[in-house]
Chains A and B, each alone.
Chain A
């Protein structure tokens, strides 16, 4: 990694240059190195998932199925779904940025169980390679939701290998969540009370809560589906009296909280970025913190809005519909508080801030379109159409990936000790923002016109918007390619990063970048609230 050997003595000891052997990387117990290992594998999976997305968009420029056959198209969108959901979005922020930053931000030397942390990475790699082998051997055509009885009786391809791969990957998520919760509970620096924690830690704590409580249910559900497909013991087989809707209940019991696993860390990153680049304490700190927890808790009682039309009873539908609106309130509180933080701040539009603002705008649209789908009468028309595709891409790409990119840019100097080039980064942020909107906004209109999702061949009147969407996808693809270039460039040729390039107040910015292997020479003692920009006596009290 380092250039000239002689330079090593002059350089301070960091977690990067303390040891260069491959073994030191592959058997490391240092949370920072494990965070980087995750970052590398996550980027690979993001590239693969993005490739599938590109192929899908190319195919959908024409109503007829003329690029690939239907069976291949089904494998494309299944591959895109599985890779993006299970192997990119869920581990992206918690496992890479979370692993790297949680001990730094709470003043700890490492996470609570370092060996378990390394095991989680290996489980993630093993699960990922199993799913990848299934895809290389032709992929599967079940869709990322594995609905029964299709996935257990009629699907083709190595479905069981994929199911077991996701099952193993699920344990990586569970153990990471467990590790973070124990770390945050028991390893905070002296004086770091709960309400002195940075908001990023609050959002990761809520994420870990969901990871620990929800993931096991989908683990057992996918295991049952694999057993039913392999051994023909019909748990969900309607011919034996099994209930396919029970599978949907157990699947969505996890998969809805899973979307909060994806968005909560991005919210945490945005709280940090907005506060740093407005040079102001976040407005309503405790409201933002508690709404993270509220989202995590409410996230468990709303999954039924995925089943409105799947012969779920009307009464259950009503219960789930009204509760789905409750879960929207904390998100609204967060958005309003972020914007109020910028009020009377001193705003600096660096790249992370661009991603932060982009996140707020797109997440607002994504969240509000979710309210369409929570209303039962509207959902009957809109579910399983491109409206749903647009909604969750606004949340996941507009929200989670914007947050991930923002966090990556914000903490890049701390992780690598190098500065990336601001101009290129701002350019790619704007390209991503424009490309994203051009890709997914037309899909709202497609959805209301009734174009169903997962369609290889579609009616001719939908073509106009599909062409717009495919055009946007190419711009988005370019936008995502740029960071790869200038980040790699910055590792080798970037300027040396100071300890605190952005003037932020977090604990992680008080130490050298890249940090020491043991993070802090002496464990810091916390005496005042976080985000301490202005002297504490000049505080304005609003009614």
Chain B
């Protein structure tokens, strides 16, 4: 960031930045109007009605109901506009578009660890393509952090034990600040970073240039076997082992022994890894050991991506003889050929 003249606004680098700045302008105008009105009235009355020796005692004034109503209704009206405008911005901000490019962010005390779907890992830096919806799925390994990019006008707390999302659509290339906005300890003010918004071609060059050892899903698969999950959860669809088969379960409701059903999402898979006895699939026993302490947050995200990438069983409906892992996100420019040898991925 070169040292420009004194700034009063952070750059407007995302789609909602304009509407947030518009709301800001409206609010500033209302505040300025009323503050100046009150200040000038006070000065006028203080001067005009200053106590002189001969002024008679001022008469008491009663009534004024209509006056009271007007200066209750007008502020209420102005406030409701503030509420509606703010709520609409918040509503759009809290619903990431379906096709947005997913990036995993893990907050750890005083650093941001970022994992791209293509396997790239970054610390305190986030490279994203311009003009594309980016969805961050964030969690924390210790205390509450907050991923805040002033230039995009977005922030969202990052909580341990939960995934929170934040999404933005960058409109201007450049480098912008990342700040941790929730106090998290000694180096809270050091937990900062930079978002590099790049042209799509540059982004792809950067993406392939990084020494990626396979996509997130492939790393997940490697971890899946390394931790011994594959012994119970066979990747092949046909064998009905002692453990629920993970084929094509992503996004579908899962029947639990208590009769309730839960849709398989990042939260459910993470919970089943870290705390398996919490939700047992119908027809199975509570025999899975817990892996909390044995796997880091990045490992959990890799396993989540792997489970997402296991296609439905070959015979099952909706399965396609996918050469590569069905769920692997075909990031627009990501060269599919780069995927690891097909053998490990073939369902």
Contacts and interface: CB of A to CB of B under 8 A. Distances in A.
Interface of A: 65, 70-71, 74, 141, 143, 145, 147, 149-150, 153-155, 238-239, 241, 244-245, 278-281, 283-284, 287, 308-311, 314, 317-318, 321-322, 325-326, 328-329, 332-333, 335-337, 339-340, 342-349, 357, 360-361, 364-365, 368-369, 371-372, 374-381, 383-385, 445, 448-450, 452-461, 464, 531, 533-534, 536, 538-543
Contacts of A449: 7-10, 150
Interface stretch (B123-131, B160-168, B204-212, B214-222): B160-168
Contact of B60 (A369, A460, A534): A534
B144 A361 contact: no
B332 interface: no
Contact-residue bracket for chain B = 35 or more
Contact of A540 (B61, B75, B155): B61
Interface of B: 1, 3-4, 6-10, 16, 19-20, 23-24, 27, 30-31, 34-35, 38-39, 41-42, 45-46, 49-52, 55, 57-68, 71-72, 75-76, 79-80, 82-83, 85-91, 93-94, 109, 142-144, 146, 148, 150-151, 153-157, 159-162, 164, 177, 179-190, 192, 278, 292
B51 A347 contact: yes
Contacts of A346: 49-52, 55, 57-58
Contacts of B66: 543
Contacts of A74: 183, 185-186, 188
A461 B3 contact: yes
A368 B34 CA distance: 8
A517 to B, nearest CB: 34
Contacts of A336: 67-68, 71
A375 B189 contact: no
A541 B66 CA distance: 12
B126 to A, nearest CB: 16
A279 B63 contact: no
A464 B82 CA distance: 30
18 contacts: A141-B186, A238-B159, A238-B161, A284-B68, A317-B90, A332-B71, A342-B41, A346-B55, A360-B38, A361-B35, A365-B31, A378-B23, A380-B156, A384-B155, A452-B180, A460-B3, A538-B60, A539-B60
Nearest to B271: A241
A479 B55 CA distance: 34
A375 B35 contact: no
B90 A376 contact: yes
Given A317-B90, A346-B51, A539-B60, A150 B185 contact: yes
A457 B180 CA distance: 12
Nearest to B181: A384
A93 B175 CA distance: 49
A423 B94 CA distance: 56
A356 B160 CA distance: 47
A153 to B, nearest CB: 7
Contacts of B63: 541-543
A239 B71 contact: no
B80 A348 contact: no
B23 A375 contact: yes
Contacts of B94: 314
A475 to B, nearest CB: 20
A450 B12 CA distance: 12
Contacts of A339: 38, 41-42, 45
Nearest to A69: B186
Given A374-B79, A377-B20, 20 more contacts: A70-B189, A74-B188, A149-B143, A238-B160, A280-B58, A325-B83, A329-B76, A347-B45, A361-B42, A372-B24, A372-B27, A374-B83, A377-B89, A377-B90, A452-B181, A456-B188, A459-B177, A539-B60, A540-B60, A542-B62
